[in-house]
Amino acid sequence: GAGVSQTPSNKVTEKGKYVELRCDPISGHTALYWYRQSLGQGPEFLIYFQGTGAADDSGLPNDRFFAVRPEGSVSTLKIQRTERGDSAVYLCASSSSPSSYEQYFGPGTRLTVT
Amino acid sequence: GENVEQHPSTLSVQEGDSAVIKCTYSDSASNYFPWYKQELGKGPQLIIDIRSNVGEKKDQRIAVTLNKTAKHFSLHITETQPEDSAVYFCAASNYQLIWGAGTKLIIKP
């Protein structure tokens, strides 16, 4: 079946601009996670949704980062006033439920801030 | 909070030999330990996982062992093949995955 998809695959933006990154989870998966991965490092947790609500947003680095999941399926990660330090691969994962533990990842969006 | 350390950072083995990657964790409440394989330009792929009530799990050429007392777990790959070359990540979870820094596995032909 279809896995997690993310769009765009690559995004180049200028410092100070606003970007939106989209994640389509596996159909029926209620839990959705956003991670950020810098070169040579493991993924870093950003935010976790259970259904439509953000159950844990403790990983968001500051208030320039925001994520929504209005209908409990597709999620959008929004970054305002981008900075060069925001450059990374943004990964999305979904899980059939919080208690299932197994997370399945999309291919990521590579964000480059110039 | 949880901290996961992973060793080695790079591992080079001859094709057909075995590879072992080790991780330690700090939070005794962690009860789920997955291993992910990440190829260049792709997202992490779950290859095997183990829960805290099990000491070992095997899936064909891949096995994971867990020692809860010592708080460490290991990935074992036998009969390595060129397609095993990738970066491997361990993680520990109570509900949120905390990741190791990764091991670059190189399979020499």
pLDDT of B79-104, one tens digit each?
999 999 999 999 998 778 899 999 99
Token readout for A25 is 């989870």
Question: What per-residue confidence (pLDDT) applies to A1?
Answer: 58
User: Is B44's CB within 8 Å of A105's CB?
Assistant: yes
Q: Which residues contact B83 (CB under 8 A, 6 or more apart)?
A: none
First to last CA, chain B: 41
Question: What per-residue confidence (pLDDT) applies to B95?
Answer: 72
Least confidently predicted of A8-12, A55-59, B91-95: B91-95
Residue A67 contacts residue A47 (beta carbons within 8 Å): yes
With an 8 Å Cβ cutoff, is A42 touching chain B? yes
User: Is A101's CB within 8 Å of B93's CB?
Assistant: yes
Residue B66 contacts residue B53 (beta carbons within 8 Å): no
Residues of A in contact with B34 (CB under 8 A): 101-103
B46 closest CB neighbour out of A43, A104, A108: A104
The answer, yes or no, to whether residue A83 has pLDDT greater than 70, is yes
Least confidently predicted of A68-72, B1-5, B77-81: B1-5
The answer, yes or no, to whether residue A104 has pLDDT greater than 90, is yes
Confidence bin at A27 (pLDDT 50/70/90): very high
Round the average pLDDT of chain A to a whole number and report it: 94
Determine the average pLDDT of the residues in A58-63: 95
Residue B92 contacts residue B82 (beta carbons within 8 Å): no
With an 8 Å Cβ cutoff, is B57 touching chain A? no
Determine the average pLDDT of the residues in B49-65: 93
Residues of B in contact with A96 (CB under 8 A): none
